[in-house]
């Protein structure tokens, strides 16, 4: 009986916008997730994938995930803001993680943390204006023998003294400048 006179369905448009917000690889990954049962339980997997590519979860990407997985957007943002692991802002080129685990803490991690925040001019969870550094606190990195520990990207710095910090940061700033020139 139903014969629509005008097509008012925007499903394809909305889908196209969502697909454009993600890479074809992620779109294909989600398409795979949707095939199975319990699509909603795939949400965290998909968010990991998105963050793996972009380094963070932007509003357009979260909207796209919601539309393609057909999971309410509020649930996507609820999950993304709940877990510490998910970043909602673009991260800097270099991620600086300061271990605040027990051993590092006892060995003066707080002074390291203070100095890093001072030198970079950002708080934990923030990124410098030049988008070069993001600063985060972590739990034990499993290298307590080296305490206090700072990790920059994949490299671990052990037995760090506050006065070493400007030098370490300077190294990365220089590295970035040289990369830019090249």
Partner 1 sequence: MSEQQTVNLTIDGVKVVAAKGATIMEAAEKSLGVKIPRLCYHPKLSMQGSCRVCIVEVKGANGYVTACSAKCAEGMEVQTNSPAIRQARRDIVELLLDNHPRACLTCDRDGNCELQNLAYTLGVREHLFSGERKRFPIENSSASVVRNPEKCILCGRCVRVCAEVQGIENLSQHSRGFKTFVSPAFDANMDDSVCIQCGQCVNACPTAAFIGKSYTENVWQALADPTKHVVVHTAPAIRATIGEGFGMKPGTPAAGKMVTALRRLGFDKVFDTNFTADLTIIEEATEFLGRLQKGERLPLLTSCSPGWVNFLERFYPELIPNASSCKSPMSMMSALIKTYYAEKAGIDPKDIFVVSVMPCTAKKFESRRPELTMPDGTPATDAVIMTRELIYMIKSYGINMAALDDGEFDSPMGDSTGAADIFGTTGGVLEAALRMAVEVVTGAPPANMEFVEVRAVEGLRVRELKVNDDLTLRVGISNGLNNAKKLLDKVVKGEEQFHIIEIMACPGGCIGGGGQPYPPAGYTILDPKLLARRAAALYAIDVQKELRSSNHNPAIKAIYANYLGEPGGEKAHHLLHTHYAPRLPRGIR
Question: Closest distance between partner 1 and the C-beta of residue 68, in Å?
Answer: 10
The whole-angstrom separation of Cα 92 and Cα 164 is 21
CA dihedral 130, 132, 136, 138 (to 10 degrees): 180
Question: Closest distance between partner 1 and the C-beta of residue 23, in Å?
Answer: 22
Q: Chain centroid to CA 108: how far?
A: 27
Q: Chain centroid to CA 16: how far?
A: 25
Question: Closest distance between partner 1 and the C-beta of residue 51, in Å?
Answer: 17
CB 89 within 8 A of CB 59: no
Contact string 75-94 vs partner 1 (x = CB under 8 A): xxxx--xx------------
Site for partner 1, residues 25 to 84, rule: CB under 8 A = 59, 62-63, 66-67, 70-78, 81-82
Question: Closest distance between partner 1 and the C-beta of residue 6, in Å?
Answer: 6
Question: In terms of CB distance, is 17 or 95 closer to partner 1?
Answer: 17
Is residue 5 part of the contact set for partner 1 (CB under 8 A)?
A: yes
- Name 2's bridge partners: none
For β-strands 150-152 and 133-138, DSSP reports them as: unpaired
Footprint on this chain of partner 1 (rule: CB under 8 A): 1-11, 14, 59, 62-63, 66-67, 70-78, 81-82
């Amino acid at each position: 009986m139903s014969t629509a006179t005008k097509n008012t369905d925007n499903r394809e448009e909305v889908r196209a916008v969502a697909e454009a917000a993600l890479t074809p690889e992620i779109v294909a990954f989600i398409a795979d997730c949707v095939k199975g049962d319990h699509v909603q339980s795939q949400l965290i997997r998909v968010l990991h994938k998105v963050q793996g590519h972009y380094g963070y979860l932007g509003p357009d990407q979260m909207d796209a995930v919601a539309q393609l997985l057909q999971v309410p957007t509020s649930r996507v943002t609820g999950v993304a803001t709940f877990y510490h692991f998910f970043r909602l802002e673009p991260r800097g080129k270099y991620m600086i993680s300061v271990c605040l685990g027990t051993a590092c803490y006892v060995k003066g991690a707080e002074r390291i943390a203070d100095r890093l925040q001072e030198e970079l001019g950002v708080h934990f969870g923030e990124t410098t204006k030049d988008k070069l550094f993001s600063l985060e606190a972590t739990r034990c990195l499993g290298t307590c023998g080296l305490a206090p520990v700072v990790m920059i990207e994949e490299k671990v710095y052990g037995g760090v003294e506050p006065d070493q910090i400007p030098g370490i940061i300077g190294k990365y700033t220089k590295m970035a400048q040289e990369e830019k020139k090249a």
